[in-house]
A and B are shown apart, each in its own frame.
Chain A
């Protein structure tokens, strides 16, 4: 049996080892480091099934009042590890682009490109376990600062740098709001631990005004991380400008961690009726904005950015209806289909480009890649027999149970709207004439990863119970 905290320590040590190999070992193919990291992270992933249970939340003291190893956190630790493994596979595919933009044939800096996601992964694992505002703040910053470097990694490329600066300024702004909000919650309750804050709210003498002000500021800060309207302005530019594997990581890892924190932080505040109304409003704006703004896009990466805003909206509907397991299932489905679409995009974009028109006739050139993209797109749209369908189904089911008619109507209408822009990609791949007949090569590791993601997407679309069961334990 392994104590839960050793998982993060193992991941951090792995990250440092990769950095040391990058710095001191010169005559190796740097991609070996990525393969080694994938192997080590898989070992840590297996380790998550052999954990010692931590003490209960109520009786926790010392370290355990900052950190919890409850089923939710262990589930999302696996989620973070899996995301990182897939992202590393994508990064190996992406390495040639990185080298050509560095303007040299050497492999300088490639090791750092593989080390940073590992540190980010440790941060994500800490976030999902954090039950104290201090821990939440520090682990969110560990993730965010790693992402600053990752987003602007190809620093010879002005577009990437522009994305990096935009991410830097807006993320730092959201951090300032988060910290100021935490300050006010501390000021009212005198506590930073979420459990003790909940207890403090039971006291009728508490000044709810100050706490509500703090909670709204925290919501602003977290809204930036999960890309909720009106804090979504950074998303399209950063997603388009960042290196594609980083975009995939940002849209899955960062968003999932944001939602886990949101669910944990909101628990003490959900008894206030104002908070619930605010969440419903934000969810409504996010689904409508994300889906409408995605309609006219012609760049696939930008389209996926708007689609990620739309999906944040559906997830927020789940959060507003207090449907924890529906949100978790949606996040898992979102992980599968988003990573699948980005994996195909990376391979195709290196040969043609990122525009939807660059996918013309892909089915004739590379049937496998076109099929993978097809599955990703129909799942994102929410066609039955894919994971995306059950994700939306559980969310809307929870909303109907809570009698949130407006949210259900807005959700269903915008899903229909989503069909248009997702199927635009499918139309380009299957009904347009290809501009060249040349095949697009896929290496064995990415082909295996894509196949696994396709199988998982369809499997969860037919038989979703394993995920729901995993949460109950």
Chain B
């Protein structure tokens, strides 16, 4: 039997992997991918919470499932704009490595 705790652990691990990817990787595309992973970790736990929060009438709490659709849509919009910016940066600098992007400094 899979419990709520199991889903939450998987989602927590996904979130941690995503966060580690943002912090440690140096390629912008990979960083962006890790960010999407973090959003999907939130989606997974939302769906799990929804499934296990059974209402008095026996139905799951659908508020969270609707919220998941909003997150998916917003994430898609974010990717559309984000990739455009990364492509523009690649055209200007011929690199997507974050260590080469450091002209603004203290």
Where the two chains meet, the residues of A that have a C-beta atom closer than 8 Å to any C-beta of B are 133-134, 137-138, 141, 145, 148-149, 152, 155-156, 158-159, 161-166, 168-169, 172-173, 175-176, 179-180, 182-184, 186-187, 190-192, 236-237, 240-241
Contacts and interface: CB of A to CB of B under 8 A. Distances in A.
The 10 closest A-B pairs by CB, nearest first: A176-B38, A187-B49, A179-B42, A237-B104, A172-B35, A155-B88, A141-B74, A180-B42, A161-B89, A148-B81
B17 interface: no
A192 B103 CA distance: 42
Interface in B45-80: 45-46, 49, 53, 61, 63-64, 66-67, 70-71, 74, 77-78
Contact of A148 (B22, B66, B82, B89): B82
A229 to B, nearest CB: 15
Contact of A186 (B28, B32, B63, B70): B63
B35 A173 contact: yes
A240 B46 CA distance: 38
Contact of B66 (A134, A180, A183, A191): A134
Contact of A165 (B22, B46, B70, B85): B85
A286 to B, nearest CB: 18
A179 B39 contact: yes
Nearest to B22: A173
B4 to A, nearest CB: 8
A409 B53 CA distance: 47
A151 to B, nearest CB: 9
Given A180-B15, A183-B42, A159 B82 contact: no
A76 B32 CA distance: 33
B85 A164 contact: yes
A199 to B, nearest CB: 15
A159 B101 CA distance: 9
B78 A169 contact: no
Contacts of B81: 145, 148-149, 168
Contact of A179 (B66, B71, B86): B71
A158 B103 contact: yes
B35 A169 contact: yes
A190 B53 contact: yes
Contacts of A149: 81
Contact of A176 (B42, B53, B64, B102): B42
